[in-house]
Amino acid sequence: MLEFDNTERTNLGELGEFGLISYLTKAVEINEPSTLKGIGDDAAVLDFSNKKTLISTDLLLEGIHFDLRYVPLKHLGYKAVQVNLSDIYAMNGTASQITFSIGLSSKFPLEAVEEIYQGALIACKKYNVDLIGGDTSASVQGLVISVTSIGFADEDQIAYRSGAQEGDLLCVSGDLGAAYVGLQLLEREKNIFLENPNIQPDLEGKDYIVERQLKPEARRDIVELLAKIGIKPNAMIDVSDGLASEIIHICEASDKGCKLYEDKIPLDSMTYETAREFGIDPTVCALNGGEDYELLFTIPQADYDKIKGSMDITVIGHITQASEGCQMISKSGKVYPITAQGWNAFKD
């Protein structure tokens, strides 16, 4: 399903590593005031004089994190950046720079690398982030992407996972489970295609959930909104591994428990219907699906009035004493312990 125009193919071997780097970085602009020196020296030089520096890093590996049979390269570059920026926003910070490293087969044409890079630069531009470095290498092992994101924050504005207080409202941005359902859909269409290459993928009317999987958006807008309405979350994390896993992270780091209400979990109607078509419980998609890149955070009850009008923030529960554990109250009123089924890429 990966469509790539084969009419233009420039061999990477002809260019060499330096040639490739200089070709790719031609389009790189520096806009962020904290970037003193970007690409072109042994290290980038940044200035965060009165702020604290935030650093996060992620590895994206072909065959584990993405499947080039249905992930367009430009989307892949875009997503690799978003996934990383999300970690900076989850600290209640401002993302300002990234490094972007790629390992790729010499069989990859230059035009394909450029697609990935363009996707990354589109994300950078949209989020006011400078690309300040990286590494480019041949790989005998498929495509490897490693991104490090850098940001800043005032010390008293940083939201750690460990700050949740008893009585805090547990809030989440956007809706959950869509990226997981989108992935199921893409996998199904891939398998149909592999069995019969004459059948074109049928993603008609499923744009939202497919886009949530292929082209997630880190929630900078939520960090900005919270600052605007005068809320500093007591604890915050981004939802990358599924709601259940992230709730447990906050509760463990804060030494607290929580009550989560199933009927409050925000689900898009397309997520709900498609999950049903696949015979999967939509709540399970939200709890264990992952890759939503929404923000999960806790705020004092006194701040409730500030968020109650927001279309984009949902109160899904509250923080309790640690002794009560992490519980979900189901739609029928039953109480279940929340367990992080999570995702174990090391399992065969």
How far apart CA 192 and CA 201 sit, in angstroms, is 8
Taking the least distance from each CB to a copy of itself, the nearer of 78 and 152 is: 152
Pairing of strands 130-133, 52-61: unpaired
Taking the least distance from each CB to a copy of itself, the nearer of 208 and 343 is: 343
Q: Which two tokens mark 311?
A: 């279309």
Tokens 């367009």 correspond to 72
Taking the least distance from each CB to a copy of itself, the nearer of 36 and 199 is: 36
Contact 264, 159 (CB under 8 A): no
* Minimum distance of a copy of itself from residue 332's CB (angstroms): 31
How far apart CA 344 and CA 342 sit, in angstroms, is 7
Question: Any contact of residue 103 with a copy of itself (CB under 8 A)?
Answer: yes
Q: Using CB under 8 A, pick the residue from 21, 192, 253, 280 that binds a copy of itself.
A: 253
Q: Using CB under 8 A, pick the residue from 119, 134, 216, 282 that binds a copy of itself.
A: 134
If 0-12 CB within 10 Å is exposed, 13-18 middle and 19+ buried, where does residue 11 land? Answer: exposed
Question: Any contact of residue 346 with a copy of itself (CB under 8 A)?
Answer: yes
Question: Any contact of residue 58 with a copy of itself (CB under 8 A)?
Answer: yes
Question: Any contact of residue 175 with a copy of itself (CB under 8 A)?
Answer: no
Taking the least distance from each CB to a copy of itself, the nearer of 128 and 200 is: 128
Q: Using CB under 8 A, pick the residue from 68, 122, 138, 322 that binds a copy of itself.
A: 138
Q: Which of residues 106-125 bind a copy of itself (CB under 8 A)?
A: 106
Would you give the binding string for a copy of itself spanning residues 14-53, x where CB under 8 A is met? -xxxx-x---------------xx--xxxxxxxxxxx-xx
How far apart CA 147 and CA 295 sit, in angstroms, is 20
Question: Any contact of residue 157 with a copy of itself (CB under 8 A)?
Answer: no
Q: Which of residues 207-236 bind a copy of itself (CB under 8 A)?
A: 236
Q: Which of residues 284-303 bind a copy of itself (CB under 8 A)?
A: none
Question: Any contact of residue 156 with a copy of itself (CB under 8 A)?
Answer: no
Question: What one-character-per-residue DSSP string does 72-95 give?
Answer: -HHHHHHHHHHHHHHHHHTTT-EE
SS3 113: helix
What does the buried/exposed string (b/e) look like for 250-262 if buried means 16 or more CB atoms within 10 Å of the residue's CB?
Answer: bbeebebbbbbbb
Q: Using CB under 8 A, pick the residue from 25, 57, 157, 165 that binds a copy of itself.
A: 57
* Minimum distance of a copy of itself from residue 279's CB (angstroms): 26
Question: What one-character-per-residue DSSP string does 129-150 give?
Answer: -EEEE--EEE-SSS-EEEEEEE
Q: Find out whether 291 is annotated in a ligand binding site.
A: yes
Q: Which of residues 325-344 bind a copy of itself (CB under 8 A)?
A: 340, 342-344
Taking the least distance from each CB to a copy of itself, the nearer of 138 and 284 is: 138
* Minimum distance of a copy of itself from residue 278's CB (angstroms): 24
Contact 225, 95 (CB under 8 A): no
Strand ranges across the sheet with 256-261: 235-239, 294-299, 169-173, 313-321, 256-261, 326-329, 335-337
Q: Find out whether 161 is annotated in a ligand binding site.
A: yes
Q: Which two tokens mark 141?
A: 């092992």
What does the buried/exposed string (b/e) look like for 122-136 if buried means 16 or more CB atoms within 10 Å of the residue's CB?
Answer: ebbeebebbbbbbeb
Would you give the binding string for a copy of itself spanning residues 258-287, x where CB under 8 A is met? ------------------------------
Question: Any contact of residue 238 with a copy of itself (CB under 8 A)?
Answer: yes
* Minimum distance of a copy of itself from residue 242's CB (angstroms): 12
Q: Find out whether 202 is annotated in a ligand binding site.
A: no
For residue 61, give every residue at least 6 positions away whose Cβ sits within 8 Å of its Cβ, in sequence order, or none: 142, 143, 144, 145
Taking the least distance from each CB to a copy of itself, the nearer of 11 and 301 is: 11
Q: Find out whether 139 is annotated in a ligand binding site.
A: no
CA angle 319, 287, 314 (to 5 degrees): 55
Binding residues for Mg(2+): 42, 56-58, 87, 135, 238, 241
